[in-house]
A and B are shown apart, each in its own frame.
Chain A
Amino acid sequence: MANVSLRNLVKEYDGGVQAVKGINLDIQDHEFVVLVGPSGCGKTTTLRMIAGLEEITKGEIDIGGNVVNDVPPRDRDIAMVFQNYALYPHMSVYDNMAFGLTLRKFARSEIDKRVKNAARILDIEALLERKPKALSGGQRQRVAMGRAIVRDPKVFLFDEPLSNLDAKLRVQMRTEIKKVHQTVRTTTVYVTHDQVEAMTLADRVVVMNHGIIEQVGPPQELYHHPTTRFVAGFIGSPAMNFIPARVENDAVHLADGTFLPIPDARRERYAPAAGRDLLFGIRPEHLTEQRIGPNRADIIITPEVIEPMGMETLVHFHFGDARDFCAKIDPTAHAAPGERLVLTADMSNMHLLDAATGRVL
């Protein structure tokens, strides 16, 4: 097991397209780090550079204190789990898991011990003699993880391992992966485009966009204290609402004349932004049916679409000229499309962003 450090890492493809634009990241021993971001943000390229499957244009990758830029994948002591499992179709589950150890000339008894141990952890002991084509998607993914576990490598790399599974199985396997990491404690770098996966699995989440790191932090920190509009919008589902606003007299003024008092604790922080074009950021879960209490302020809207989800109801609305806003209200609260509705914003969870730079104030 080991630390992993990325220093000024750049990946440039033929034609000058930069997929990764000089990122820096330190991953601690035993840590579970998730790289998350939209398609084309450079997360998979970064992972593939760590694996040695992609050449590094500039910068350094350090695994366990050694710079591995020119070290081939097999000598990096890493194991990778691929999106499409990449199991060897002609080999049994046992042979798939044993393949890496056989190549490294481990003793037969040691191979047997490790494969059986990994099979026990992943609950696939009954499948060892089967060929991959006789397995379900979830079982294949377990075997792919087993292949990684038996090697006992310094680092696990996961490349969107759950994307090919259906929604229910994905949730189940997510828990499995977390359980496995709690058991083996191997340093893990996990790539996904699914922010829920990122939030639930990670010790720290790395949000990437356009080849740069937007923010690194524990899931809760990213959720409560995003530093950019991208992170604020990317983390959380449904996404945070951004309503054009200004700050005047210690209150947020929206375009339609609504004003929402800023909580005392934040007044000083937002005072310098007075008069500038801003965005008022509020998550749907902090925009609820009318509630009375400290640091709460009302907004009057007209719902366009109501979506009952069971434990909550989503209200989609537009505000002035801006569209696609969302609130989460109690399922017992009355709301109907086209009918005036009073929502309450929990101002202690509000965000203010600079409209020009997208930075959170």
Chain B
Amino acid sequence: MSATIGRRSGSLRAERRWALWTAYISLIIACVIFLMPPVYMLITSLKTNADIANLQGNPWIVTNPTLEHYRSIIGNPLFLTFFWNSIKVTVLTVVVSMVISVLAAFALARMRFWGSQWLATGVFLTYLVPDTLLFIPLYQIVGGLGLLNNTWGLVLVYPTLTVPFCTWIMIGYFASIPKELDEAALIDGASWPQMLIKIFIPVALPGIIAATIFAFTVSWAAFVYPTAFITTPDQMPLTIGVVSTLVRGDTFAWGQIMAGALLAALPPVIVYAFLMDYYIAGLTAGATKG
């Protein structure tokens, strides 16, 4: 009997070691795959144009590091315009998305009304429709409103990408808040709006932060809609601005494109670095609660 137990615990230890090794190896492979492009971008952005054009030698090694691409892109007034456009559109989109999502999620999660379940599922289903499918009908709508080639047009259409998922995250988060909390608030004398503002929003802050990060990432990185709706550089956000102004016909200003793309990726990286824990907590809320 004791021999059986001994063998079992031994095999358990071996199994654990095997699992750890598998985990480490898969994680290392995943890290290499995901980090290779940004690292290559960084390396390219630090090379001189001559080095970039040089096909001899190892492309992963920088022989004459330079910041000239960064200097020229930051010195380019258009780049600053793109940056400003991206910030403006993203901030407004995040605000609009969060106001709509929080109100919608509160109603769908808490104010049990006829059809609320179906509506919640419907909201999520709209998230599954890709933007490549929507941009043609949306072009008509944005055009009809006279907002083509206008950043306000983007503020109008980006929430179609962000609101469904943000609402879904918030429904999950609100659902994880015990029902007794709203009942206690109702008895304490709170109205529905007071309950939302004084109880639900503060309690669901991690969820709200998660949804905000999602909305921020989506609108900062959106590519299809600005490509379709924006035509002049003064209205362009970073994503299409960098590509359209730094690619002239067949000529790719690789150094500047890479520097521009890295600078464009900086704000989301900063946001994630500071709010990662909230993001994970927000996305997994309700996962373990029955």
A interface vs B, CB < 8 Å? 51-53, 72-74, 78-80, 82-84, 86-90, 99-100, 103-104, 147, 151
Given contacts A73-B186, A99-B188, A104-B189, contact A82 B199 (CB under 8 A): no
Chain A's interface: helix, strand, loop or mixed, by majority? loop
Residues in chain B near residue A84, CB distance under 8 A: 178, 180
Q: Are B199 and A88 in contact (CB under 8 A)?
A: yes
Residues in chain B near residue A51, CB distance under 8 A: 183, 187
Residue of chain B at shortest CB distance from A72: B186
Total A-B Cβ pairs within 8 A: 57
Residues in chain B near residue A74, CB distance under 8 A: 186-191
Residues in chain A near residue B178, CB distance under 8 A: 84, 86
Bound-complex Cα distance A147 to B184 (A)? 10
Residues in chain B near residue A89, CB distance under 8 A: 203
Asked whether B10 is an interface residue with its Cβ less than 8 Å from the other chain, the reply is: no
A-contact 0/1 string along B263-284, CB 8 Å cutoff: 0000000000000000000000
Bound-complex Cα distance A157 to B194 (A)? 23
Q: Are B188 and A82 in contact (CB under 8 A)?
A: no
Residues in chain A near residue B194, CB distance under 8 A: 103
Within 8 Å by CB of B188, from A53, A83, A90, A100, lies A100
Asked whether B12 is an interface residue with its Cβ less than 8 Å from the other chain, the reply is: no
CB distance from B227 to the nearest CB of A (A): 43
Q: Are A78 and B203 in contact (CB under 8 A)?
A: no
Q: Are A82 and B203 in contact (CB under 8 A)?
A: no
Q: Are A78 and B187 in contact (CB under 8 A)?
A: yes
Sample of 15 A–B contacts (CB below 8 Å): A51-B187, A52-B187, A53-B183, A73-B183, A74-B188, A83-B180, A84-B178, A86-B178, A86-B181, A88-B184, A88-B199, A90-B202, A99-B198, A103-B188, A147-B188
CB distance from B193 to the nearest CB of A (A): 12
CB distance from B270 to the nearest CB of A (A): 26
Residues in chain B near residue A151, CB distance under 8 A: 188
Residues in chain B near residue A86, CB distance under 8 A: 178, 180-181, 183-184
Bound-complex Cα distance A99 to B195 (A)? 11
Bound-complex Cα distance A53 to B184 (A)? 10
Q: Are B199 and A53 in contact (CB under 8 A)?
A: no
Residues in chain B near residue A99, CB distance under 8 A: 185, 188, 198
Residues in chain A near residue B187, CB distance under 8 A: 51-53, 73-74, 78-80, 100
Residue of chain B at shortest CB distance from A74: B189
Bound-complex Cα distance A147 to B180 (A)? 14
CB distance from B64 to the nearest CB of A (A): 55
Given contacts A74-B191, A88-B185, 14 further A-B contacts (CB under 8 A): A73-B183, A78-B187, A79-B187, A80-B184, A84-B180, A87-B184, A88-B181, A89-B203, A90-B202, A90-B205, A100-B187, A100-B188, A103-B188, A104-B189
Bound-complex Cα distance A83 to B199 (A)? 19
Given contacts A84-B178, A103-B194, contact A90 B203 (CB under 8 A): yes
Bound-complex Cα distance A100 to B185 (A)? 8
Q: Are B189 and A100 in contact (CB under 8 A)?
A: yes
Bound-complex Cα distance A82 to B181 (A)? 9
Interface residues of B in 70-123 (CB under 8 A from A): none
Q: Are A53 and B189 in contact (CB under 8 A)?
A: no
Residues in chain A near residue B181, CB distance under 8 A: 86, 88
Bound-complex Cα distance A51 to B182 (A)? 13
Residue of chain A at shortest CB distance from B180: A86
Residue of chain A at shortest CB distance from B204: A90
Residue from A52, A86, A90 with most neighbouring chain B CB atoms (10 Å): A86
Q: Are A82 and B189 in contact (CB under 8 A)?
A: no
CB distance from A239 to the nearest CB of B (A): 32
CB distance from A94 to the nearest CB of B (A): 14
Q: Are B203 and A53 in contact (CB under 8 A)?
A: no
Q: Are B189 and A103 in contact (CB under 8 A)?
A: yes
Bound-complex Cα distance A83 to B179 (A)? 12
Bound-complex Cα distance A100 to B184 (A)? 9
CB distance from B106 to the nearest CB of A (A): 16
Q: Are A80 and B183 in contact (CB under 8 A)?
A: yes
Q: Are A82 and B190 in contact (CB under 8 A)?
A: no
Bound-complex Cα distance A90 to B178 (A)? 14
Nearest 6 Cβ contacts at the A-B interface: A100-B188, A86-B180, A86-B184, A74-B189, A103-B189, A90-B202
Residue of chain A at shortest CB distance from B205: A90
Bound-complex Cα distance A223 to B111 (A)? 44
Residues in chain A near residue B203, CB distance under 8 A: 88-90
Residues in chain B near residue A80, CB distance under 8 A: 183-184, 187
Residues in chain B near residue A103, CB distance under 8 A: 188-190, 194
Residue from B178, B181, B184, B199 with most neighbouring chain A CB atoms (10 Å): B184
Residue of chain B at shortest CB distance from A148: B187
Q: Are A53 and B202 in contact (CB under 8 A)?
A: no
Q: Are A82 and B186 in contact (CB under 8 A)?
A: no
Residues in chain B near residue A73, CB distance under 8 A: 183, 186-187
Residues in chain A near residue B202, CB distance under 8 A: 90
CB distance from B177 to the nearest CB of A (A): 9
Bound-complex Cα distance A86 to B186 (A)? 12
Residues in chain A near residue B185, CB distance under 8 A: 88, 99
Within 8 Å by CB of B183, from A82, A90, A104, A147, lies A82
Bound-complex Cα distance A100 to B188 (A)? 4
Residues in chain A near residue B183, CB distance under 8 A: 51, 53, 73, 80, 82, 86
Residues in chain B near residue A53, CB distance under 8 A: 183, 186-187
Bound-complex Cα distance A99 to B191 (A)? 13
Bound-complex Cα distance A90 to B186 (A)? 17
Bound-complex Cα distance A88 to B181 (A)? 7
CB distance from A341 to the nearest CB of B (A): 41
CB distance from A45 to the nearest CB of B (A): 14
